[in-house]
Chains A and B, each alone.
Chain A
Amino acid sequence: MRPFAYVRADSADRAIAASTPGARFLAGGTTLLDLMKLDVMRPERVVDINGLSDRYGQIEANDEGVFLGALVRMAEAAQHPRILADYPVIAQSLRFAASPQLRNMATLGGNVLQRTRCSYFRNSGVGSCNKREPGSGCAAIDGVNRKHAVLGVSPHCIATYAGDLAQALIALSAVVAISGPDGDRRIAFDQLHRLPGDRPELETTLAPAELITGFWVPAGAWTRRSLYLKVRDREAYEFALSSAAVALDVADGAVREARIGLGGVATIPWRARAAEEALKGQPMTAANADAAAGTAFAEAQTRFDNAYKPELGRRTLVRALLAAAALEV
């Protein structure tokens, strides 16, 4: 690990002021320390924001929605009674992620910003990576790409977005609260991550020194009838090959509103709006679920090893939709 200056901040303003060029915020550290040891991330300064937990480590729920502080630990949100009861898709996306130790450490803000697990990104000694070394090329496109993305890909990057919580937040139209040198702002969750395009190294729309302080999740008729289905190589402690965050408002036998986030298959947290539209007003039959899921993967682009993903993703979504429709809420 390369040397760095360590700074402890006790307020958002001080953290932002301390975030000079080349600095990184430290919360749970589970991504940052890992990638610093791999020499993939090389911060000159680490700004420890754990001292802000009193202010930004709270969960506040009311009838309008729930605010999740950015420094809430994954394990805390996963077992919060209001989230378990009213936003099960959030609790499940967290519980099915990582290990208990990692969930005790990792924060929600850091979780949505976690970096890809692409081996060529993580292994600085093998192959080229446009995220790691901009302009160097993408070894994954013609390399070992079984776990790589089929949606939102570009000729410069097919790295999969690895997180789970983000799929729940994007499906529920969460809002991201951000503090920065120019004050506070709020953006829709689907405006946080950037498609790789020709600049895969730019992963978010956050400006330098900007800090996520929390997420507002509005309550809706669909939030209780929600779930997260994660398909992976083993049953625990593994990243998704494909996943679906689904929230439904069903009345009189028909879908009034469907919210769908897809994971494991895309380069960024993926909102499947075409599939949502296809379900509107329809009864949730297997045929309708199948047709809607098909639209979600209509534009999938596969490589050699990941050609199975559109079909796996489609079936994952069908199963999630039918299971959500059958929930007793």
Chain B
Amino acid sequence: MAEVAVNRRGFLSASAAAAAGGVLGGSATAEPEMAPASAPGQLPVALDVNGRRHQLVVDSRRTLLDLLREDLGLTGAKKGCDHGQCGACTVLVNGRRVLSCLTLAVAVTGEVSTIEGLAAVDGELHPMQAAFVAEDAFQCGYCTPGQILSAIACVSERHANSTAEIREYMSGNICRCAAYPHIVTAIARAKAQMEA
């Protein structure tokens, strides 16, 4: 779980991972059926996230979501249910929306896009982000990164042609605050800009 790339965030996450590794090693004795830390469960992984390559060594159990959040410090993708039911962890892999909580990090091939990579370098928001702000398409905001990534894919898949179609093709993203009407409006607004 140590990141090889040299930067401040990587250094911090590598330190945190090393500390966590010590704790996990200790717990192995408490659960005898657990394989020792030297089991063939530590694997190298090379991931392209938001245009930047990361090389890490991760446990085979590491999900893409946990890797993003805990190893790379990209906490935009959220852990809601952790079982593929709520959509809060939605990211794009090669432009397709997937659930990072049900994706093994070692199995990822291709470019990962998260909410952190959407805005332009000058800070200008992606049209979908801007539309969510303009339409007030959230309350607590916890599901919003997943909603926005899913919404971008909804438009690029050409499944945003009517309110009914947007609702159907956004059904994998649950909003506990029930901001759905504004989410639908935001997607329709962003669609016009994305396709312009």
- What chain A residues lie within 8 Å of B173 (beta carbons)? 99
Question: Which of B35, B82, B96, B101 is A104 in contact with, Cβ under 8 Å?
Answer: B96
Is A37 a contact of B154 with CB atoms below 8 Å? Answer: no
Residue from the list B34, B41, B154 in contact with A5, Cβ < 8 A: B41
Contact B172–A102 (Cβ < 8 Å): yes
Mark each residue of chain A from 1 to 29: 1 if its CB lies under 8 Å from any CB of chain B, else 0.
11111101000000000000000001001
Q: For residues 21 through 43 of chain A, which have their beta carbon under 8 Å from a beta carbon of chain B?
A: 26, 29-30, 33-34, 37-38
* Contact across chains for B99 and A46 when beta carbons are under 8 A apart: no
Q: Count A-B contacts at CB 8 Å.
A: 91
- If A4-B41, A4-B61, A5-B41 touch, does A101 touch B98 (CB 8 Å cutoff)? yes
- Give the contacting residue for A105; candidates B103, B157, B167, B170; CB below 8 A: B103
Interface residues on B, range: 35 or more
CB distance from A181 to the nearest CB of B (A): 23
Minimal Cβ-Cβ distance residue in A for B40 = A5
Tell which of B15-23, B83-91, B128-136, B181-189 binds the partner: B83-91
Would A236 and B103 be within 8 Å (CB), given that A4-B60, A100-B97 are in contact?
no
Min C-beta distance of B12 to chain A, whole Å: 25
B159 interfacial contact with A, CB 8 Å: yes
Contacts of A30 in B (CB 8 A): 84, 99, 102
Count A-side interface residues using an 8 Å CB cutoff: 26
**Is there contact, CB below 8 Å, between A29 and B107?**
yes
- Interface residues of chain A, those whose CB is within 8 Å of chain B, are 1-6, 8, 26, 29-30, 33-34, 37-38, 46, 48, 50, 98-102, 104-105, 236-237
Q: Identify the B interface with A (CB < 8 A).
A: 33-35, 39-41, 43, 59-61, 63, 82-84, 87, 90, 96-99, 101-104, 106-107, 109, 150, 153-154, 157, 159, 167-173
Between-chain CB contacts (< 8 Å), 18 pairs? A4-B41, A4-B60, A5-B40, A6-B41, A6-B106, A30-B84, A33-B101, A33-B103, A34-B83, A38-B83, A46-B104, A48-B107, A98-B172, A100-B172, A101-B87, A102-B99, A102-B172, A236-B168
